[in-house]
């Protein structure tokens, strides 16, 4: 009788243990993998299943990680690794995290395009933000065949990158990113903006090229439409733009505080002292404020401008060359007083 009772007891304990284990497994699988905060996991091209497990172990508890390893074994995760950026926190269940990683369901990241001076700067920025290297991005930004598909040249490749914040995938290749930025630029260039560009006598790329000069000429957003109007007046009169920032770009010497005569003789298509019209492409990625300044430029008769002698970053404008010489004299004297050579 006692033997029979012991057997029933042992079976009951075993059944309860098995049930508890099943419940625990279900809870572990369906429960939160991590906590409620966002926890970003990056999987690189050189990652293996073991290295992914190591990264996950640092972000989870014992039970949830064990449950993930069980799912990975059953679901043959080793053969389904996907490069990408994944949120394994934010209250996602272990099962949800497993499905995301196995299916390559990435979490988009926010890419904010800032004002940058050169394609090299853009490439470095993209290489630090996304998976591929700066060298890979630069190769695509200078690939004439690739860019021609979107109506661009290496000199105008940055015209695809309108300053804004975009949702992209961390693993986006340079080619995929350029394709996306082209789609986004088509949205930016709506009928209203295209009509304003037409009225100014400029193409889309020319608007951005002029906007890049305005961007580098002044940080005063209120002054930008006046600066844009001044350069448009010079373009209409077939006068050289004579924009100092284009000389700095040609020299790749962006720290120059004083442009001298020797700088003005620089042999470069970007030197607007030696060449009439706009340079071959933008000298930076311009801000939205500078783009809007060109599209909504102020109509006036100014054809000269010179930095103010108070070094405020604003400018004195002039209609006649005599007035301009007076403004330039005041600025040069201010430079001399500060010992800026």
The model's pLDDT over 37-65, given as tens digits with 9 standing for 90+, comes to: 889 999 999 999 999 999 998 887 766 88
Strand 84-87 relative to strand 165-168, pairing: unpaired
Q: Of the candidates 109, 122, 222, which has an alpha carbon nearest to the alpha carbon of residue 163?
A: 122
pLDDT for res 6: 52
Token couple for 91: 């209250």
Domain segments of the chain: what residues? 25-103, 109-188, 218-338
Beta strand 84-87 with 109-112 is unpaired
Q: What confidence score (pLDDT) does residue 20 get?
A: 33
Q: Token pair 């020797």 is at which residue?
A: 262
Residue 274 binned pLDDT confidence (cut-offs 50, 70, 90): very high
Residues 6+ apart with CB under 8 A from 15: none
| Own/partner pairs, 192-195, CB within 8 angstroms, 24+ separation | 193/295
| Nearest residue to 241 via CA among 212, 279, 201 | 279
Encoded tokens for 186? 């088509």
Q: What local confidence, expressed as pLDDT, does residue 62 receive? A: 61
User: To 10 degrees, what angle do helices 94-103 and 2-30 make?
Assistant: 50
- pLDDT tens, residue by residue, 93-143: 888 999 999 999 999 999 999 999 999 999 999 999 999 999 999 999 999
Instruction: Round to whole Å and give the CA distance between 158 and 167.
Output: 18
Q: What mean pLDDT is predicted for residues 253-263? A: 87
**What pLDDT was estimated at residue 222?**
95
The pTM (predicted TM-score) of the whole model is: 0.85
Residue 119 and residue 56 in contact, taking contact as beta carbons nearer than 8 Å:
no
Whether 144 has a pLDDT exceeding 50, the answer reads: yes
pLDDT value, residue 311: 86
So what's the pLDDT on residue 13?
A: 37
pLDDT at 283: 98
> Where is average pLDDT lowest: 5-19, 52-66, 163-177, 299-313?
5-19
pLDDT > 70? residue 330: yes
- Residue 27: pLDDT band (50, 70, 90) is very low
Residue 1 pLDDT > 60, yes or no?
Answer: no
Least confident interval from 114-118, 251-255, 334-338: 334-338
Average pLDDT over residues 75-87: 94
Q: Which residues contact 84 (CB under 8 A, 6 or more apart)?
A: 42, 43, 104, 106, 169, 170, 171
- Greater confidence (31 vs 205) lies with 205
Q: What is the pLDDT of residues 284-328, one digit of tens each?
A: 999 999 999 999 999 999 999 998 888 888 899 999 999 999 998
**Dihedrals phi, psi of 279, to nearest 5 degrees:** -70, 175
Give the confidence band of 34 by pLDDT, cuts at 50, 70, 90. low
List Cβ neighbours of 174 (8 Å cut-off, separation of 6 or more).
126, 132, 136, 137, 139, 140, 141
Per-residue pLDDT, 59: 81
Name the residue with higher pLDDT: 113 or 92.
113
Residue where the block lists tokens 């924009």: 243
Please write the tens of the pLDDT for every residue from 184-233.
999 999 999 999 999 999 999 999 999 999 999 999 999 999 999 999 99
Most confident of 5-19, 95-109, 249-263: 95-109
- Structure-token pair, residue 105: 């369901």
Is the pLDDT reported for residue 24 higher than 90? no
The b-or-e profile of 32-50 (16+ CB within 10 A means b, else e) is bbbeeeebebebeeeeeee
Beta bridge partners of 42: 85
Gyration radius from the chain CA atoms: 30
Distance in angstroms (rounded) separating the CA atoms of residues 239 and 226: 17
pLDDT higher than threshold 50 for residue 28: no
Phi, then psi, of 266 in degrees rounded to 5: -55, 130
pLDDT at 239 over 90: yes
């Amino acid at each position: 009788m006692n033997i029979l009772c012991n057997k029933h007891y042992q079976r009951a304990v075993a059944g309860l243990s098995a049930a508890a284990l099943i419940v625990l497994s279900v809870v572990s699988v369906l429960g939160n993998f991590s906590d409620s905060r966002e926890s970003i996991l990056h999987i690189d091209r050189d990652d293996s299943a073991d290295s992914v497990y190591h990264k996950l172990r640092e972000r989870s508890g014992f039970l949830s990680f064990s449950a993930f390893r069980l799912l990975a074994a059953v679901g043959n995760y080793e053969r389904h690794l996907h490069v990408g950026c994944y949120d394994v926190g934010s209250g996602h269940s272990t099962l949800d995290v497993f499905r995301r990683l196995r299916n390559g369901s990435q979490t988009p990241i926010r890419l904010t395009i800032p004002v940058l001076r050169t394609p090299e700067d853009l490439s470095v920025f993209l290489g630090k933000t996304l998976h591929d290297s700066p060298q890979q991005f630069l190769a695509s930004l200078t690939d004439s065949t690739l860019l021609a598909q979107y109506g661009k040249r290496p000199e105008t490749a940055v015209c695809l990158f309108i300053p804004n914040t975009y949702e992209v995938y961390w693993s986006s290749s340079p080619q995929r990113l350029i394709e996306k930025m082209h789609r986004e630029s088509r949205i930016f260039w709506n009928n209203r903006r295209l009509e304003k560009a037409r009225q100014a006598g400029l193409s889309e790329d020319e608007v951005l090229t002029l906007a890049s000069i305005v961007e580098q000429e002044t940080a005063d957003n209120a002054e930008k439409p006046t600066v844009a109007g001044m350069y448009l007046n010079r373009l209409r009169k077939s006068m050289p733009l004579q924009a100092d920032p284009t000389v700095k770009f040609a020299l790749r010497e962006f720290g120059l505080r004083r442009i001298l005569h020797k700088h003005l003789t620089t042999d470069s298509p970007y030197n607007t002292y030696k060449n009439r019209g706009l340079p071959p492409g933008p000298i930076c990625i311009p801000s939205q404020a500078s783009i809007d300044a060109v599209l909504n430029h102020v109509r006036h008769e100014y054809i000269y401008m010179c930095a103010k002698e108070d070094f405020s970053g604003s400018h004195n404008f002039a209609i006649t060359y005599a007035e301009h010489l007076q403004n330039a004299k005041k600025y040069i004297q201010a430079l001399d007083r500060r010992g800026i050579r």
